[in-house]
Amino acid sequence: MAIFSRYTQTIFIDGTWQDAKSGKTLPVQNPATLEAITEVPHGDERDAEQAVRAARQAFPHWSGKTARERSHLLYAAYEKMKEQKEELAAILTTEQGKPLKEARAEIDSAASYFLWYAEEANRLYGEIIPSSNKHKRLMVIPQPIGVVAAITPWNFPASMITRKLAPALAAGCTVVLKPAPETPLTAYRIVKILEEVGIPPGVVNLVTGGAVSIGKCWMSHPDVRLITFTGSTEVGRLLMKGSADQVKKLSLELGGHAPVIVFEDADLDLAAELTLASKFRNCGQTCICANRVYVQQTVWDAFVEKLTAKVQQLSIGSGLDEATDIGPLINEEAVRKVQDHLDDAVQKGASVLYGGKRWKDSYPGYFFEPTVLANVTKEMKVMNEETFGPLLPLQSFSEEAEVIREANDTPYGLAAYIFTDSLHRAYRVMEKLEYGIVGINDVFPAVAEAPFGGVKQSGLGKEGGKEGIFEFVELKYVSMGIQ
Ligand code: ADP
């Protein structure tokens, strides 16, 4: 595609697009065709350190602007992103693989964070506390935390960036950003949009390249006051440990292992449609997607029949083809993980109701058939680990208390879903689920206006909503004596 025909300088520091100090580059690949799309600079700790310096220098000026001024720039970024939606979606699909219709939806969602935080910038209120001493006045003032390091994943290359950048910028923070090596081009275009709308030099800096060297620099740099990260629990843990010496604040969106529970009183058509949508969106590569499905015994046959009928209609192919429902996985390792979970389940007695193998009909890339498994048990990897692929394991249950116990029996706690038409059951079960997000007859909870985040080993802090901006501020308490 013409948009990728030239080498792209994706390191942006202090308002200047530049090559990596190493002089090295990283290839970017189309996961459907396995073609090399382009190359981007392979930055390291030297670029990472220069980026922090630029962000530190830009901080007084940016945080000194009025909230209204920052809001205007964020609103302009929202509008520009909407204008460039088609081009952005094509870039996203080409490097990430998801179907174009999903890429367009992601660009809309990504832009909505700029809109929401353009609004929230103006409502970052402090507090006056009624004092118990009549000679004192007490107040709480939110102030931007300082330089923020944002590290983002490849599964939502646009919205995971704006969900961090928009509240950070709204609060008055400056940012150093490292996107996933698989999807630097979407990041590049988002930062380009921020440059075009007039975000001052140094306020947003982008470094592509080596995760370990860049991460190490930011974890140990005293000027980085917050690390905001979305990715695996393993890397999240590493960032916590690496930031401990400096007692840095962390905001972490980590892995999930979402249960879907279909009760006998549910609308089964809706439950089948939404379970499918949740499981196969982005080829199963979302941290809140259905990872395991529990179906009440009494409706097992009816539900399984409806679900498998729908799965058979899914069309696999390149995301750039408008008819595609299921694109490729991100890389060979992802394919291996799906195959490993599948083999483990089959070996322990699961039966394959549909799919079950790698797909290479029209493209050489990292495709895997949408696969439905029955006779699944608790001992299988699919019921204990995040698969991050198009594998849908079904297990039956009979009692409400039993399924709640199973659903909670995991170190993860990001999202859980229940399908029921009983108001009593909906409320009762929702309260007992140890998850940061619960969808009731709904599987698309991630929106700019609501707080997204996990409990247990799924993360710390919230993104989105009025809560999301508070990750990026310190609350200063002021006690003033008066006569
Ligand atoms: P995934 O397994 O989905 O790729 P990761 O947690 O490995 O998730 O990656 C998420 C982000 O974290 C990416 O931008 C990746 O480059 C980055 N990352 C991976 N390892 C490290 C590390 N040691 N330090 C800092 N960032 C890292």
Each residue of 30-73: pLDDT tens digit?
A: 999 999 999 999 999 999 999 999 999 999 999 999 999 999 99
How many angstroms separate the CA atoms of 154 and 31, rounded? 12
Q: Environment class of residue 411 by beta-carbon count within 10 Å: exposed (0-12), middle (13-18) or buried (19+)? A: exposed
Q: Atom 11 in ligand 1: which residue has the minimum CA distance?
A: 153
CATH code matching the domain that covers 6-254+458-477, chosen among 3.40.366.10, 3.40.50.450, 3.40.605.10, 3.40.50.970: 3.40.605.10
Q: Atom 23 in ligand 1: which residue has the minimum CA distance?
A: 212
Positive or negative torsion for Cα 90, 94, 96, 102 = positive
Using the atom order of ligand 1, give the atom closest to the CA of residue 238: 23
Using the atom order of ligand 1, give the atom closest to the CA of residue 180: 14
Nearest CA to 59 out of 201, 215, 178 is that of: 201
pLDDT tops 90 at residue 108: yes
Start-end of CATH 3.40.309.10 domains in the chain: 258-440
pLDDT tops 70 at residue 202: yes
Return the structure tokens found at 237. 């843990």
How high is the pLDDT of residue 423? 98
The pTM for the full model equals 0.97
Q: Separation of 299 CA from ligand 1 center, angstroms?
A: 41
Of all residues in the chain, the percent with pLDDT exceeding 90 is 98
pLDDT tops 90 at residue 318: yes
pLDDT tops 70 at residue 237: yes
- Calculate mean pLDDT across residues 132-151: 98
Q: Let me know if domain 258-440 sits in CATH 3.30.2130.10.
A: no
Positive or negative torsion for Cα 209, 215, 217, 222 = positive
Q: Separation of 170 CA from ligand 1 center, angstroms?
A: 26
The Cα-based distances of 13 to 52, 56, 108, 428 in angstroms read 9, 12, 27, 51
Using the atom order of ligand 1, give the atom closest to the CA of residue 179: 14
pLDDT tops 60 at residue 5: no
How high is the pLDDT of residue 160? 98
How high is the pLDDT of residue 9? 81
Nearest CA to 58 out of 214, 185, 204 is that of: 204
- Calculate mean pLDDT across residues 188-199: 98
ipTM value greater than 0.95: yes
- Calculate mean pLDDT across residues 203-214: 98
Start-end of CATH 3.40.605.10 domains in the chain: 6-254+458-477
Q: pLDDT-based confidence at 374, cuts 50/70/90?
A: very high
Q: pLDDT-based confidence at 115, cuts 50/70/90?
A: very high
Q: Separation of 162 CA from ligand 1 center, angstroms?
A: 18
Ligand 1 neighbours by CB, cut-off 6 Å: 151-153, 178, 180-181, 211-212, 215, 231-232, 235, 238
* Ligand 1 pocket mutation, candidates 151, 288, 366, criterion most atoms within 8 A of CB: 151
Q: pLDDT-based confidence at 3, cuts 50/70/90?
A: low
Nearest CA to 47 out of 30, 22, 81 is that of: 22
Q: Separation of 179 CA from ligand 1 center, angstroms?
A: 9
pLDDT tops 70 at residue 216: yes
Give catalytic residue positions: 253, 287
Q: Atom 9 in ligand 1: which residue has the minimum CA distance?
A: 231
Q: pLDDT-based confidence at 244, cuts 50/70/90?
A: very high
Q: Atom 13 in ligand 1: which residue has the minimum CA distance?
A: 180
